[in-house]
Each structure stands twice: as structure tokens, then as C-alpha cells.
Amino acid sequence: MASIRKQKIKGKVYYSLIERVKVKSKWRYKTLESYGSKLPEANDIRIIKGFAEEEIKKLPDNSVDLIIIDPPYGIGYDTNFRKDKDKNLGKITLDNEKIFKTFPLVIQECFRVLKDNSALYCFCRWDTLNSFKDIIERYFNIKNNLVWVKNNWSMGDIKGSYAGQYENILFCVKGKHKLNNGRATDILKYDRVAGKSLLHSHQKPLRLLDFLIKKSSKSGDVVLDCYAGSGSTLVSAKKLHRKAIGIELEQRYIKVIEERLGKEPVHKITKNYKG
């Protein structure tokens, strides 16, 4: 978990973002970003209720530094997890036909609002990957098909199919985009959000989003998520001192996002850090 370090050098205050990492079985602090004497604004988060294909048109050209989208795929699908069902997390009401009608427009608009040399990440699954890819590559250069490997698997057809333990994330760029903090592998291992903490049946883990945001943006940048769901991208962006814009259709999820952002504390400041 990252936190903000506050240091006083020759009477002047300096801030940086640090993370505890394990090196040769010892915990150490690694500096991820240096902010100088002014901590970037972390509260500039906009939540827009409406259709992505309509709302994104209102954003200016070249105004966003990173886009992370998790479109609703699967025909009127419900969650397969027993615990999710018990919590009545609900059914996603959009069908595939609808999403594939509007998705080309959303992608075209994503290309317009994204700054040059910036990235777009799109979550998908093996059975929707080709359809999403065909649309995205009309505008973007698709660099990788990242594989998010989860700690457990979905139920599905228990006897007639293999248990799915991964999802795909298409890593796409507009122009030339350099990844921060060196090269990483295309296999990303992050635990799924545990059933008891789940607020949305397709909620993505903050640690995975933290990783993507840190790789492809810097503090103060604007991150856009057009299908915000429970707002995980926004929570992660806020935590990492980015600005963010989230578009979400359903009022019940807007409420969840507002509650999460309200509750989710901005980094606690680490005062007695000795590097």
C-alpha cells in the first residue's frame, strides 16, 4: 500500500509517494514519485451519471491523460458467485447487442479526448476480446493483451468447462507511450475482491488498478473511466493523487461511488520515514 512521505530538508517541506516493497524477504520503502513542496490535488474527482456514449462527447479534445474502461460484457449476465447472489449485487441490465452498437462511438470519442502519447486499458474476456479488439484497433495501436490471473476462479458450467481464472486487459496507445518504472511482464497476478467486500459484481481490485495507473500516468494527471461501476478506478486515482472522471449509468452505483470516495481516505502522511 502506497503512502505519502513528508520530509523537511533545510527547513523546506518535500512530499513524495512511497510504497513498502519486499526485497530479499526484507520490507523496504521505494519512492514511486516525487512531488516537491506542493502535494498534488487529490480531490478533483468528477462523477457523471449518464450514458458513456453521450457524456464523453461533452469532454474537450486532448484533455485526458489515461483511460481505463471495463465495458459491460456478457448477455444480461448475472454473477456466478454464490456470495454475490446472496448480497443481491444485481444483474447488469445491458445486453451485448447494445454494447457493441455504442462501443465504436465510445472508442472514437476516447481517441479524441485522450492526449497524444497516452494509453487506454480495456478489460475484457477471451470471448469478447476479438470483438473489442476489432473496434479499438480502428483508432488505437494495441500493444499487449495483458492477462490478469486471479487467486480463484468463476463457477460457470461446473461439469462441462474449465474453471476460468483470468481476464484480459487490452493495452492500447495513441502515439508513442512510455511505461513508467521500467518494463513489467504481461501476466498480472492480483487477488479478486473478496466476496464480503464486494460492492459490484464486476468490481476490479484496487491493487491492479493502482498498478496500471502508476505505469501509465503521473501525479496530477486526469484518468477517465467511462463505465465506472463501483468507482474502483476513481478510488485508485484519488489515492494516487490523480484527477479523475467517471461516467456511470446506474444510480445505485453512483451512490456506491460517492460513498466509497467519501469514505476512502486520502493517503495518510508518513512523517517519520527514514529512507
Ligand X SMILES: C[S@@+](CC[C@H](N)C(=O)[O-])C[C@H]1O[C@@H](n2cnc3c(N)ncnc32)[C@H](O)[C@@H]1O
Among the listed residues 15, 140, 148, 253, the single contact to ligand X using CB under 6 A: 253
Q: For residue 120, which amino acid is it?
A: L
- Min CB(164)–ligand X separation in Å: 15
Strand ranges for 125-183 from DSSP E: 141-149, 166-174
Residue 203 touches ligand X, criterion: CB under 6 A: yes
Q: Which of residues 141-160 bind ligand X (CB under 6 A)?
A: none
Compute the distance between CA of residue 83 and CA of residue 68 in angstroms, rounded to an integer: 27
Q: CA 184 from chain center: how many Å?
A: 17
Q: CB-based burial of residue 226 (10 Å sphere; 0-12 exposed, 13-18 middle, 19+ buried)?
A: buried
At residue 33, what are phi and psi to the nearest 5 degrees?
-150, 145
Range in contact with ligand X (rule: CB under 6 A) among 14-22, 112-120, 178-186, 227-235: 227-235
What does the DSSP assignment read for 8-21? EETTEEEEEEEEEE
Any contact of residue 246 with ligand X (CB under 6 A)?
no
Under rule CB under 6 A, residue 79 binds ligand X: no
Interface with ligand X includes 229 (CB under 6 A)? yes
* Distance (Å, whole) CA 268 – CA 167: 32
* Closest listed residue to residue 225, CA positions, set 213, 233, 217: 233
Q: How far is the CB of 76 from ligand X (least distance, A)?
A: 12
Confirm if 77 and 201 have CB atoms less than 8 A apart.
no
CB of 53 to ligand X, least distance (A): 6
If one asks whether residue 249 binds ligand X (CB under 6 A), the answer comes out as yes
Q: How far is residue 49 from each of residues 207, 248, 254, 264, measured CA to CA in Å?
A: 25, 5, 7, 20
72 lines the binding site for ligand X (CB under 6 A): yes
Binding region for ligand X (CB under 6 A) out of 112-120, 144-152, 199-207, 236-244: 199-207
44 near ligand X (CB under 6 A): no
Residue 250 engages ligand X in binding (rule: CB under 6 A): yes
Among 15, 121, 171, 227, binds ligand X (CB under 6 A): 227
Is residue 128 part of the contact set for ligand X (CB under 6 A)?
no
> Which residue number, 15 or 171, has a Cβ lying nearer to ligand X?
171
How many residues bind to ligand X according to rule CB under 6 A?
21
Residues near ligand X, by CB under 6 A: 51-53, 70, 72, 92, 94, 102, 200, 202-204, 227, 229-230, 232, 247-250, 253
